[in-house]
Amino acid sequence: MVRPVVTPETRSVRLLKVGEQVRHVLSQLLARQQVHDDVLSAATVSVTEVRMSPDLRLAIVFVKPLLGANEEIVLKALRTHTAFFQKEVASRLKLKYAAKIRFVGDESFDVASQIDRLLADPRVSRDLGGEESDND
């Protein structure tokens, strides 16, 4: 029997698929408030991305509370219930190994806001406008 060729591309597609499945399960658990925690029940938490390790044993979960409010408190509450999340993900996805989950605050929105502020700066827009008029 011929083994399928494993390339980095096919491996990364599998990682992306499993990461997306983990994200979906965690999002459902949080949206349906199946975690019995006052902080998590009061906050709307978005699971923005899940990055899986190559061996699928570690899932780094990027989360962002609505409007970024009380991010540290929400992260602490999520980390407190990590065992519950790991058990639910393992039972729903039926993977060979239960992935360890690590919750991290998502900073990509802050970086995007900073880039928008920089581009809106009059000095930067003047420079961008000056380059366009020189090329005409």
pLDDT in tens, the chain (136 residues): 555 555 555 558 888 899 999 999 999 998 888 888 888 888 888 899 899 888 889 999 999 888 767 888 889 999 999 999 999 999 998 877 888 999 998 776 666 667 767 777 777 777 777 544 444 4
Q: State pLDDT tens for residues 91-105.
A: 998 877 888 999 998
Per-residue DSSP letter, 67:
G
Task: Enter the pTM of the model.
Answer: 0.71
The total number of residues written for the chain in this structure: 136
Residue type, 123: R
Give the containing element (helix H, strand E) for 40.
helix 38-42
For position 28, what pLDDT does the model report?
92
Give the containing element (helix H, strand E) for 27.
helix 8-31
